[in-house]
């Protein structure tokens, strides 16, 4: 997965820059073409000549050092790269990238490249835990950047903790493993629903639920990163999509989500219903705001259409997975839903469990396929949960009789 790749290595100004020398050497030994961009501060730790000798390519530092008048250097480098690797990534360069700042050669190229970008942070343990750094990393993650987490150990500042640049061998293994997953769903069309729905009562009131859409959006990003063409039907949420492989359709009501899912169902290969759709809606919608009354106000409700049930009935070649958010006997209820709605898999989560449920950044789920084989996925970020779910779907699709 590394051989014959064009790898752009960005080296920012931290003591861990010395590890980037070994990283450059190992990448070239594995058959990659490597070009190095350094910040001015990185060049104070390691000589550019070292990287030139190891990569056998010129090292770039100055945005205005245009060696070839026929090309704009930072655009040419950005277009050349198959993979961009930022190691070490300091808090400073992460902050620049997350906020769209391009004031040197490295940050300019990073904003211009369309390649996959892998970020290997290295900094003091307290810097790594700072809310600003965490927010910047979350922002980059939401845009599809891939992080290689630092290791824990003795740091150059004298502290012991998380923040040490991962070893070159581990960085390369992480990049290779992710690149290998890049074609997991190549050529597949994936349809995903996410978020809540809103059912209107009057111009100022509606019924909804606590779904944030984070799990569905994480699945969409993971599927797109795995090579799929993704259609994401999203209820009213405040999340953004950054991957160009994601076609986002925004809806509000259960009826609109039903229609959008059926519009795209027959051309999809994999369908994951992660949305928390309203089961009921007001039978009467008032055209004007209802005024406060001295007595109780009763709102009569009617059933919405069961989207997952209808998709199960219409299923032909599709792999259909649903979610079951439960608080009591979650797996048992999930299996009942799996069977009743003609699903290929159900992802069950106990929303009452610590670290799971609506609104948070983590989840705990159990994946159950149609043979009732269970896989528990322990507490982790919703992005990591999404990757594990897609691996299991790929496994079960591979095992299906043709």
User: Is residue 53 classed as helix, strand or coil in its secondary structure?
Assistant: helix
pLDDT given at position 154: 65
Percent of the chain with pLDDT over 90: 74
Give the Cα separation of 205 and 108 in Å (integer): 46
pTM of the model: 0.66
Instruction: Please state the φ and ψ torsions of residue 240, each to the nearest 5 degrees.
Output: -110, 155
pLDDT given at position 160: 67
For helices 168-181 and 17-29, what crossing angle results, to 10°? 50
Determine which of 12-16, 117-121, 147-151, 236-240 has the lowest per-residue pLDDT on average. Answer: 147-151
Q: Give the helix/strand (H/E) hosting 89.
A: strand 83-89
DSSP 185-253: TTT-EEEEEESB--EEEETTEEE-----SHHHHHHHHHHHHTT-EEEEEE-S-S-----TTEEEEE--S
Q: Which of 102, 112, 127, 157 is catalytic?
A: 157
Domains of the chain: 6-181 (3.40.50.1950), 189-399 (3.40.50.10300)
User: Is residue 349 classed as helix, strand or coil in its secondary structure?
Assistant: strand
pLDDT higher than 60, residue 402:
no
Whether 21 is catalytic? no
Residue range 372-382: mean pLDDT, rounded: 92
* Mean pLDDT (the chain, rounded): 92
Sign of CA dihedral 98, 102, 106, 112: positive
pLDDT higher than 60, residue 63:
yes
pLDDT given at position 72: 85
Give the Cα separation of 168 and 176 in Å (integer): 12
Between 398 and 206, whose confidence is greater?
206
Distant-in-sequence, close-in-space partners of 368: CB < 8 Å, separation ≥ 6: 331, 334, 335, 338, 345, 346, 347, 348, 374, 375
């Amino acid at each position: 997965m590394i051989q014959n790749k064009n790898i752009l290595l960005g080296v920012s100004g931290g003591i861990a820059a010395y590890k980037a020398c070994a990283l450059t050497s190992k990448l070239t030994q594995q058959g990659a073409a490597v070009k190095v961009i350094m910040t001015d501060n990185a060049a104070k730790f390691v000589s550019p000549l070292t990287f030139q000798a190891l990569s056998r390519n010129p090292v770039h530092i100055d945005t205005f050092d245009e060696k070839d008048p026929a090309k704009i250097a930072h655009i040419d480098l950005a277009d050349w790269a198959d993979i961009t690797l930022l190691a070490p990534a300091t808090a400073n360069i992460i902050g620049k990238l997350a906020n769209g700042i391009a004031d040197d050669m490295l940050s300019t190229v990073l904003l211009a490249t369309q390649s996959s970008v892998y970020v290997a942070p290295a900094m003091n343990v307290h810097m790594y835990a700072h809310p600003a750094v965490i927010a910047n990393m979350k922002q980059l993650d939401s845009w599809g950047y891939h992080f290689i987490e630092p290791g824990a150990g003795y740091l150059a500042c004298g502290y012991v903790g998380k923040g040490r640049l991962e070893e070159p061998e581990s960085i390369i293994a992480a990049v290779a493993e992710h690149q290998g997953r890049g074609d997991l769903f190549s050529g597949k069309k994936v349809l995903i629903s996410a978020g809540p729905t809103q059912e209107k009562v009057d111009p100022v009131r509606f019924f909804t639920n606590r779904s944030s859409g984070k799990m569905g959006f994480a699945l969409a990003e993971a599927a797109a990163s795995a090579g799929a063409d993704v259609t994401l039907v999203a209820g009213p949420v405040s999340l953004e999509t950054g991957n160009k492989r994601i076609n986002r359709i925004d809806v509000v009501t259960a009826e609109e989500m039903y229609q959008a899912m059926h519009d795209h169902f027959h051309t999809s290969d994999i369908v994951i219903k992660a949305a928390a759709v309203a089961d009921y809606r007001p039978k009467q919608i008032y055209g004007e705001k209802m005024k406060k009354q001295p007595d109780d106000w009763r709102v009569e409700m009617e059933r919405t259409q069961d989207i997952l049930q209808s998709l199960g009935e219409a299923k032909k070649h599709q792999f259909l997975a649903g979610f079951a958010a439960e608080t009591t006997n979650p797996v048992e209820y999930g299996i009942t839903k799996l069977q009743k709605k003609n699903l290929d898999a159900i992802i069950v989560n106990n929303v009452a469990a610590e670290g799971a449920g609506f609104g948070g950044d983590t989840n705990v789920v159990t994946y159950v396929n149609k043979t009732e084989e269970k896989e528990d996925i322990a507490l982790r970020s919703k992005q990591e949960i999404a990757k594990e779910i897609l691996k299991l779907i790929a496994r079960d699709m591979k095992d299906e009789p043709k």
